[in-house]
Structure 1
Amino acid sequence: MPPAATKLMATTTLLMVASSTFSAQHQCTASSGSTITPVIELYTSEGCSSCPPADKWASSLKDKGVVVQAFHVGYWDYLGWVDRFAAPAYTNRQREVAARNNLRSIYTPQAVLNGRDWPNWSTGLVQPSAVEPARASITVRQLGADQFEASVTPVTNLPGLQTASWSAYWTITEHGHNSRVQAGENAGEFLKHDFVVRQYTQAGDYKAGSAAVPQKLTFRSIAPTPGHARQVNLVVFDTKTGSTLQAVSLQCAG
């Protein structure tokens, strides 16, 4: 066999082995159940003195069967401490949630449960969706190191619960972040955060239609932050009301 052909075969073999190794190490999928998985959005800030108790409460929700997302906002940065986890897109989402809830303003800490403002979050986790049938079916799988694919199928056989249109968004959340705050209302405090939103990507708006037709969604995530467990979340909601139709949280090794 000519040297060039031998080299090409060796390269091809290495690529096949590498592909097989990745496939074996990253068989990571998640599928939704028959009832709606509760979705909690926490709007918080390191510059807000009343936010640490809410952050601590959010951390207590690990392994509770809910999708938790801590959106840090930056409108308290003017007090002297810039929240490094904040992004304008998170504030924009909070404004959208406020509009759907007919709120006059946005505030922190704010908890939102399945798209509805939840001012009594501190009384404990209430799961109104525990017996509420899912209005969408979701399967998410990892395709590559930072590539994910989902299949979303609206549920069309629930009398009185048909959805005219639905929307979706992806988030990457991470555990185990902390900050030693040097200024602002929390000056001198050592803050710990879990479920920190590091990426928020809207996945579009869709018509539900009369038939249960699957819709494929793709997502390219940011690279994992070493030392911080992360979750890949997909939330499907009613475009008009913001109510959760279904959600999935995927945590893959590596």
Structure 2
Amino acid sequence: MALLASAAVSHSASAQTCEASTGPQPPAVVELYTSEGCSSCPPADRWLSGLKEQDGVVALAFHVSYWDHLGWLDRFATPQTTARQHQIKAALGGRYVYTPQVVLNGQDHRNWPGQTAQQLPRLPAAQAPGLRLRREGHQVTAHIAASSGQLAGYWAVLRDGLSSRVTRGENAGEHLKHDHVVGLYRPVPAWSAAQAHSVQLDLPAAASGLRVAFVVTDSGGNRPVQALVLRCS
């Protein structure tokens, strides 16, 4: 089932406009915590590359920096994406962070090898608010329908088709390829879900062709309840 209930794209000389909305069935949300300095991570990276949003999955690759001391600096890792994993560790009561770690719908998921997108459980529809994303030029707005309780969320700007020829560390000599890489991660503070809510993201000038995801979470920012990815073609 397609994630998008509707989508429209238009172009002009001054701005690009497109929008998308969630359908009746929310996707599965897969967060992969990975590093180019980790020798066991390439199989997980390849697995994540095979997950496509049109198959009902929002896939996100969070590169972390704590393997950089082995001699290879992962250029896709940021302090923010690394902090995200530590936040998830605390929320799940974990004793340590590790790579590759797959977090499926907010829970640690170790049975990912060999799983297809169709085998990954979706988020519960009963808990998922409606979500619409609209881009006008370099500004993206997320419109979240009213539901109940408190919600939070995060933006993730995704990059695909990336590669690195690693010359040092555990993966020295490897040519690594990546998709769904979170190049920009921005948490959104909690709000009362009793009323519809809107949040905005200003994209960098070089964001043409990149996909933009918004993930609605519980009030702590940890467990996803809805997600959508927007790409202006």
TM class by shorter chain equals 0.7 to 0.9
Aligned residue in 2 for 1:49: 39
The structure-2 alpha-carbon separation of the partners of 1:131 and 1:102, relative to structure 1 and needing over 3 Å to count, comes to closer
Q: Deviations over 1:5-55 (max 9, x none)?
A: xxxxxxxxxxxxxx95445xx231010122222111110000000000000
- Structure 1 gaps of 5+ residues are 1-18, 157-163
- What code does the residue aligned with 1:166 have? L
Return closer, same or farther for 1:134/1:33 CA change in 2, 3 Å cut-off: farther
Deviation by residue 1:32-79 (Cα, 9 ceiling, x = unmatched): 122222111110000000000000001101242211110100100000
Pair 1:41–1:130, CA change in 2 (3 A):
closer
Paired residues of 1:33 and 1:134 also in contact (CA < 8 A): no
Partner of 2:111: 120
Higher strand share: 2
**Structure-2 separation of matches of 1:192 and 1:67:** 19
Calculate the aligned-residue CA RMSD, in Å. Answer: 1.9
For this pair of structures, how many residues does the alignment match?
220
Within 2, Cα distance between the matches of 1:51 and 1:225? Answer: 27
Identity percentage over the alignment?
42
| Counterpart for residue 188 of structure 2 | 203
- Give TM-score, length-normalised by structure 2: 0.88
8 Å Cα contact 2:26-2:56 kept in structure 1: no
Specify whether residues 42 and 27 from structure 1 end up closer, same or farther in structure 2 by C-alpha distance, changes over 3 A only.
same
Shift of 1:241: 7.8
Q: Residue 221 of structure 1: CA displacement?
A: 1.6
Which of 218, 222, 226 is the matching residue for 1:246? 226
Q: Are 2:161 and 1:176 equivalent residues in the alignment?
A: yes
CA offsets, 1:160-205, max 9 Å, x none? xxxx211111010111110000000000000001111110111221
Counterpart residue number, 2:133: 140
The corresponding residue for 1:38 is 28
Q: Cα distance 1:60–1:89, how it changes in 2: closer, same or farther (>3 A)?
A: same
> In the alignment, what sits opposite 1:219?
201
Cα 1:217–1:131 change in 2 (3 A) is: closer
- 2:75 is paired with a residue whose SS is coil
Of the candidates 82, 92, 110, which is equivalent to residue 101 of structure 1?
92
More helix by share: 1
In 2: Cα distance, 1:105 partner to 1:118 partner: 15
TM-score (norm 1): 0.81
Give the Cα separation in 2 of the matches to 1:119 and 1:237: 21
